[in-house]
Structure 1
Amino acid sequence: MAGSQLKQLKAALKSQGLIGQTNAKKKNQKSKTPHDTRRDDKHKILGGIRTQFNQFDQRINRTKHDVSIIQGGKFVKMGSKQHNDATRTHSAVQKNMKMQYDLEKKTKGKTGGLQDRRFGENNKHLSAEEKMLERFTRERQVSSKKRNVFALGSDDEDDDEDDDGGFTLTHSGKALTLDDEDTLGDSTTRYVDEDQMEEGPVRKKTKAEVMKEVIAKAKFYKKQRQQEFQKSQTNIEDLDEDFGDIMEEMGNIKAPAAPKFSTKTDEEREYDNKVRELTYDRRAVPADRTKTEEEIQKEHDEKMKKLETDRLNRMNGVDMDRAATGDDLDDEFWAGSDEEEGFAIDGEEQDDAEESGSGEEEGEEGLTSTKFGRTLARKPQVSMPANHEEFIQSLHAIEIEKQPSYINKIIETYRPNLAQGNKERMNVFVGILFQHILHLTQEEKPESQQLIEKLIKIVKKLAEAYNEVLVENVREEINQIQDRIVDSEGILLKRDLVFFVLVGYLFSTSDHYHLIVTPTLILMNEVLSKLTYTLKVSLQRIAQGTFIADQLLNYQKFSKRYSPELVNFVEKSLLLLIPEPTKIGTASKLLSTNNIINSNLNLAKTQKYKDTKQPISISDLVKEKPTIEFRYQILLKLLSLVDRITGVWKDQSSLIEIIDPFIVIVKHLVKYDSSSSSELLNKLVKLQTNATKDRKPLALQNHRALAIATFAPKFEENFNPDKKSYDINRERQEVNKMKNQLKKERKATLKDIRQETRFVAGERILEKKQMYEQYHKKMANIVNSISTIEGAEKNQYEREKKMRKNKK
C-alpha cells in the first residue's frame, strides 16, 4: 500500500465498500458486500481499520536481539504476540483492581441492607422444590384451621386454642386478621390491620423517636441491673458481718449427749458403727496404684537428672530469662569435708531437736478442723508485722526459745490459700525475717546464735515460694555494704560476713547471671582487691579477707569459675604471715614481687605453734585479736584455701601458672614448719608435674584433604519429556503432584495479594497527592483573590487621594 496515510485510509474504506458507489454491481460478482447483508459488521470493520492505522496505540515490546524467555513454563520470544499478551493481561488486571478499589471505597463505612426472613431462604440445605412444598403445606394448614362457630366447648377453651397453629402474618409489628363478619362469602377477602381499622392509619416513627426509645430502654435495663447488683452486694455484706458470729456459735455448740438408756441391741450398735466407718472410707482410685521400689527410684533419678540439667543450663547461661528464685539444690549444698576447717557462727552447733519440736505447735491457733476435714477460718490469734520495727516490738514479750514457734504460727495463720492478700504479706514477712537475722548477728548472746540458725532454715524454706521482696531487701543490703566499704576502708561488720553466707545458702551460686549472686560476687572481689593493693593491712582485714575467700570458693564449688582477685589475696596474705618472706629464693615467680616486706604480722622463725582444729568464729574476725595463736590459725586457714584452690581449678589449663607462686611460698614455709606444709607441698608438686606432662602447645587445626564430590548422572531408559514423574507408587505420585500444585497456587495467591497491596498503596498515594494539590490550589486562589481585592482597594485609595490633592 503506497501513498500517504489519507490515501491509504480512503483505499481501505473503499475496498470494504464503505465509501464510493455502493449500488454499482460489478460483472461476475458472486457475493454481496458485508454492509449489504449484515449491518453490524460495519462497526467491526471500522474497528479493524482503526487498529491497523493507529499503530502508536499498541504496546509492543521490541528487542534489538532475538531473545527467548520463560513465560508460563514455556519458551517465548521477546516482542512476540505471546510476550505482548502479558502486557495486555497486566492492563486488564489493573483495570479490574481499579474497579474493585473504587467499589470498596464507595461501600466503606456503610452498613445496612435487606434481610430475607422468608421460610427456607437462610437454609442452604433446602432445594427450591422443598421450599415451595413446605410453604404450600403451611398455607394449607392455616387455611384449614377455621374457627368452629358451633363448637360445644366453653369460650375459655376456644380462646386458648390457637387457630393458626402459632403462625401469623404481621404488618408494622401488628397482627393481620380476616374480617369474617363483614366479608363472609365475599371472594375479595383481604388481610387488614385490626389497629388500623379501630384507630386509623399508624404513623411511622421517625429516626429520632426510635433512638430515644432505644436509649430509654437501655437506661431502664441498666438501672434495673444496678439495683439487682446493689441488692446482692448488700446481702453479701450482711452475711460477711454475721459470718464471724455464726462461726463462734458453731464452735461453742456441743454435741448432744447420748441418751442414758438406749433401746438398741449390741448387734444394732455394731452395725451402726460399721456403717459410720464405711462413710469415712475413701473409694479406691484405679490410678493410685502402689508403685514398686524400682519405679520410685526411677522417678527420683529422673527428677534429680532434670534438676541437674536445669542447673547446668543456668550455669552456662542457656536460660538467661529465669527470674530470681530460691536455690533448687537441697539443704546439704554446703555440706562437705571442709566443715571442720571452716568458719562457724560463734562455734555453736545446730540444734535440730528444738526445731523439730516447734513444728508440732503449728496450726493450733488460727484454724479449726471439723470432723469431715473441712477447715473453717477463725479470727487470727497473731498479727502480721508491716516492717522490722513492728516485728521486734511483737517479740519483746516472747521468750527467745518460743520465738520460732511464734514465727511458725504467723506463717501458718497467713497462708495464701486462706485469704486474699496473704501472698503479698508473706513476701514482706520473708524480707523482715532476713533483716531480723542480720539484726541478731550483732548480739553476743548464745541464745541469739541458736535462734539465727533456726530462722535461717525457715527463710530457706520460704524463699522458694516468696522471694520478690527478699530480692529487693538483699539488693539494698548490697548497696549499704558497698557504702560501708568505701567509708571504713574495707572493714566489715559481723552482719556483712553473715550476709555473704546467707546469699550462698539461699540462692543458686552456679548461675551464669543472677540478680543477687552476681552483684555479691563483684562486691566480694572488690573487698579482696582493696586488701591486696593496700599497703597498710591489719590482721583483722586479713582475717576477714580469708573468710570472704573461703565463701568465694564455696560459691564456685559447681561452676568452677576462675577468680584472679582470690589468688592474689591468698598469695599476699601468706607473704604477710610467713616467717622471713624476704629470704624466698625464687621470688621472680611470685605475682606480688613488690609486696615482699617484713611486717609486724610475720610469725617468728624459732617459735613452735600448736596445730588446733578448732574453727574460727565470726566474732573473732570482727574484734581486734592480734595474738600469735590467732595469726597461726589464719595461716593454717590460708594453706587450706591453697589446697581447695587446686581442687576447684585443677581442670583449668592455666593450673601451672596458678600454683607456681604457692609452691614457692610453701617450700619456704617448710623450713620453719614442716608439719603443716610438707604434705601440701608434695601435692602441689605432683599436680604441677602432671599438668606439665598433659599440656600441649597450641597448633593450627590440621584438616584432612577431602576429594571433590562427584556424582554420576542418572539415565532413564524409557525417558519421556512429557512425563513428570517416574515414581512407581501411584498414590505417592498423586500426593507429590497435589503438593506441587498447592505450592504453585500458594505462590500465585501470595503474588496476587502483594500486587493488590502495592496497587492499593499507590492509589492511596495518588489520592493524597490530589487532595494536597487541590488544597494548595484552593489556598492559592484564596490568596490571589485577597491580593486582587487589596490591590483594587489600594488603587482606589491612591486615586481618591490624588483627586483630593488636585482639588486643593
Structure 2
Amino acid sequence: MPPSQLKRLKASLREQGITGPQKSKKQKKAQNKNADHRAQKASALASIRESFNPFEFKHLARPKKFDYVSNQPENATKKILGRPGVTKSQGEETRRKTLLPEMNRKNKVGGILDRRIGENDPTMTLEDRMMARFEREQQRKRGGNVFDLEDGDDEVMLTHGGQSLRFDDEIGEEDYDAASVSGSSDGEDGEDGFLKKKRRREEVDGEEDGDAPEEEQPEKKKSKAEVMKEVIAKSKLHKYERQAQKEDDDELREELDKDLNDVLAALRGHINKKPEPEAPKEATNNDFGINADRAALLAGSSQQAKDKEYDVRVRQMLQDERAKPTERTKTEEEKAREDAKRLKELEEKRLKRMRGEPTSDDEEPRKKGVENDDEDDDIESEHDDAAEFGLGAAPGQFSRPEGVEDEDDFIMDDDLIASDSEADMSEDESEAGSAPDDTMAMDDDDADFLKNVLPEQKEQPKAVNGVLTLGATTTSSKLAFTYACPRSHEELLTVFKNVAPSDTSTVIQRIRALYHAGLRADNKNKLADFACALIDHVSYLSKQTPAVPLAVIEAVIRHIHSMSRSYPVQIATQFREHLKQLQASNEPTTGDLAILTAIGSIFPTSDHFHQVVTPAITLMARWMGLTTPSSAKDIATGAYIGGMCLQYQKLAKRYVPELIRYTALCLKSPHATPALLTAHTKNILTAAELWSASPAFIEIFEPLLAPLKSAKQASTLQNLRARLALARSRRRPQLLHNHRPLPIKSSIPKFEESFDPNKHYDPDKERSEAARLQKEYKRERKGALRELRKDANFIARETLREKKEKDAAYEAKYKRLVAEIQSEEGREKNVYDREKKKRQRG
C-alpha cells in the first residue's frame, strides 16, 4: 500500500533538510543570517508544494503499459505536459491588460491619450524622461528656424541673473562654440574654444579703436521690422513684374488679333498662292492684304459679329469628316482561307443544331455586302430571326463548284446570286432608302435584280414615289415593266392572269426589284406579304390541271428561298399554316406535297428541332404510320413521301420506322404497278445506304426480304442480302473488358528507418497535405473557440463584479440615507416631545 500524503510530506521535508534533528540556537542564528540558505529553503518549499498539488501540473492520463529502455532514469518523475495554474493566471492577467480596458472604453467617445515621451516606458527613470523631453523641445525649436539665417531670437543663450551673457551688442552666441558651452572635458577642445573667444575679443577691441576700415566691419544683424520691410518690398517688386508681363502679353495678343483676317482668308482658301505685288490704289483702303469686299464687310461689322463668324468657321472645321482609310485588297489565298474558315464554322453550327446544342447568335456569318455603319449597327442590334429558323448566309454567297448542293439541298440560279456591291443604285438613293428605316438595307440576295431585269442600258432607273420606274426599252417579251405588288394570293392571280407560265419568274423578279426594301419604308411589309402569296401560289400551281411545268414551280420556290433570309418569320408562319391544314385533313394533295418539297429545299433539315421542318417530318411519319395502301394513288403518294423523308434525313441520318412499315405494305399490295414498285425499291436502296452504319441494320431490313421476294425484285433483293451479310460480318459478340493482369500482392513488410508512429504515411502528397491542413484547421478552430469561451467567461465575471460593486454601493448609500432620515425623524420627534411636555407643564 502506498504511503499516505502526510508521510510523503514528512519524507520530502526531511530529504530537503528542512526538518530533522534539532539544532542549537547558534546554528539557527547562523542559518538565518545566510541569505543563500534562506533562498534555498524557499525554493525547496515551493517545489514540495507544487509536487503535492495534483492540479498544478498536467501529466499523462494513464501510466506507461510497457517498460522500455531510454536515457531516462528509473526514479525520474512523471513527464509534465503542462502547468494549468500558471497558464490560467497568465491568461487572466493578459485579459486584464487587454480585454478589460476595451470593455471599459466600450460605448464611450473621447478620452485622453497620454503621448508624453517615456510615460509608458517602465525602463526610463524620471530624470531620463525629463531629459528626453527637453531635448525634443530644443530640437523642435531649432528645426523650425533651420533655414532662417538672420533671425536668432529663438536660439539658446547663456544667462546669468536674468541677463544674457554678451560682451557687446554685436557679439552673440557665435562667440561660443559647442565645445565651450557643453563644457567638454577634452583639454584640446577647451583650449581651442578659449583661443577663439580671445581672438574674437581682440577683433572687437580693434573695431572699437577704429583700426579696421569702415567697409570691412561686419554687417549689423537686422531686426524684425527691417526684415519685414524687406519682404514687403520684394513682394511689391514681384507684383509689379507680373503686371508688366501681363501688359506685354495683352499687347502681343492685340497684334495677333490684327492678323486674324489674313488667317481666316487663308483657311477659307482665298489665298491660294502668294499675291503678286501691285501698285497701291488710292481708292482701296485695305491694310490687311485680303479681299476688298471682305475687308469692307469686316470694317463695317462690329467686333461681336466678327467673333461670332469666327466661332462658326471654327465649328465647321471641327465638324468636317476626315478621310477614312480603306481596307486593303486581299489576295486570292486570303480569300480562300476566309471562305474555308467560314464554311467550317457553318458546318460546326449545323452539327450543333443537329445534336440539339444551343448556338449563339453572335456566331452567325456576316453578310459580304458593303453597307454603311448605321445599317451595320441596326442589323447587329436586332434579333436575328433568320438564325432562329436555321437560315444562315444566303445561298450563293460562298463560292462552290458548279453542281454542289448546299446544306439545304438547293442550287441557286445565277440571276438570284447576290453581288458584292450595289452598283445599280447611286449613293444618294441608298442613303435616302436607309433614312426612313435603317433595317431596310439592301440584301446581297437582291442587289443584282436591276441588272437581271433589264438589258444593258445607259440610263439608270429612277425612283418616283417609292416605286422604281424603268425606262422604255425594247425587249423580246411583251411583259409590262411595272406591276402592283400583290399582298394576297388573289391579287397575285390577278397579276398573273395574262402572263404565260414561262414568264412567271421574270414577273416575280421585276416586282421584287420595283418594290425593293431599300427604296421605301413600307416596301418591306409589301415584300413580306408577297412572299406569303408566293407560298400559296406554289400550292395553287401544283393543283392545276393540266399540270404546270415543274420548272415554273421550282423557279417560284427559288424566289421564296431567296426572300427567306430577309423575311424568315413571315415565311415560316405561312408554311406552318399549310401544315396545320394538312394535319386537319390527313390526306396530302399535290399542293401539300409541293409545300413539303419547298420546306425541304428552304429550311435546314438536319436540325434537332426546327419550327417548320419538325412538324413537316412528323406529319409525313404520321401519315405513313396510320395509312394502309388501298389504291395506286396511296402507293404513289407513299413513294413520294418516303423519298422526301429520306431526303430530309440525308445529313442527320435519323431512323424513320414508319417508312419501313409502309414500304413493306406497298410491296405486298395488289395495286402496286411495276413503276411504283421500282420507286419503292429505290427508296429501300437509299435507306440502306443511309443507315448502313446503324448497329440495328439487320433488324431494320430483314423484314423487307420476304416482300421483295414476293414482288420479284431480284436485283434489289440481292443487293439487300449482300448488305445484310456485310452487317453480320461486322458484328462482334460482347466480351468482357480485357484488364491488365494484376501482380500478386506481396506480404513482405515495408520497413522505415525513420518511422514515427505519430506521423501519417500517405503516398499521395496532395491528400497528405490536405489532411495536414484540415488537422491544423481543426486545431486552430478549437483553440480559437477555447479562447473565445475564456473571453466570454472573463467578460461575464467582470460584468458580475461590476454589478456587485454597483449594488453594494447602492445598498450602502440607501442604508446611509435611511439612517440619516431615521436620525432626523428621531431628532424631530425628541424636539416635539420636549415641546409637548413643556406645554403640559405650563
| Bin of the TM-score, shorter chain as denominator length | 0.3 to 0.5
Which has the higher Rg, Structure 1 or Structure 2?
Answer: 2
TM-score normalized with structure 2 length? 0.39
Q: Which has the higher contact order (CA 8 A, sep 6+)?
A: 1
TM-score normalized with structure 1 length? 0.41
